């Protein structure tokens, strides 16, 4: 599994937790649990290195409650990631663009 995905997810959850739960670089209990769960899902992804972005994936492997939580995090942190981690953001958009282009 590509560790870049884990780094991006961790950054997004940290950004969300800092803003919403008033933490300072340390994840609160619920965000830490979400982070661990996301890492487990990434490690067990059946697509492996060819994993699509979660938003365009045909398999929804998150439990409904965790899916709702990660969606909140991504909705909040996604646009802000361009300023926090522009390289990771551009890679993510490129990966999605490339995937859509191959499917067209």
The pTM for the full model equals 0.86
Structural domain of 85 = 3-103
If phi over 0 gives left and psi between -120 and 50 gives alpha, with beta otherwise, what is residue 22? Answer: left
Measured between alpha carbons, how far is residue 69 from residues 32, 35, 103 in Å? 12, 11, 29
* Per-residue tens of pLDDT for the chain, all 104 residues: 468 888 899 999 999 999 999 998 899 999 999 999 999 999 998 887 777 777 777 888 899 999 999 999 999 999 999 999 999 888 888 877 877 777 66
How far apart (Å, rounded) are the C-alpha atoms in residues 27 and 34?
10
The total number of structural domains in the chain stands at 1
């Amino acid at each position: 599994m590509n560790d870049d995905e884990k780094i991006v997810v961790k950054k997004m959850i940290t950004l969300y937790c800092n803003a919403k739960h008033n933490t300072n670089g340390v994840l609160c209990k619920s965000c830490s649990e979400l982070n661990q769960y996301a890492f487990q899902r990434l490690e067990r992804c059946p697509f492996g290195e060819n994993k699509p972005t979660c938003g365009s994936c045909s398999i929804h492997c998150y439990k409904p409650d965790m899916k709702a939580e990660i969606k909140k995090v991504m909705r909040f942190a996604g646009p802000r990631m361009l300023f926090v981690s522009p390289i990771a953001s551009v890679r993510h958009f490129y990966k999605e663009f490339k995937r859509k282009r191959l499917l067209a």
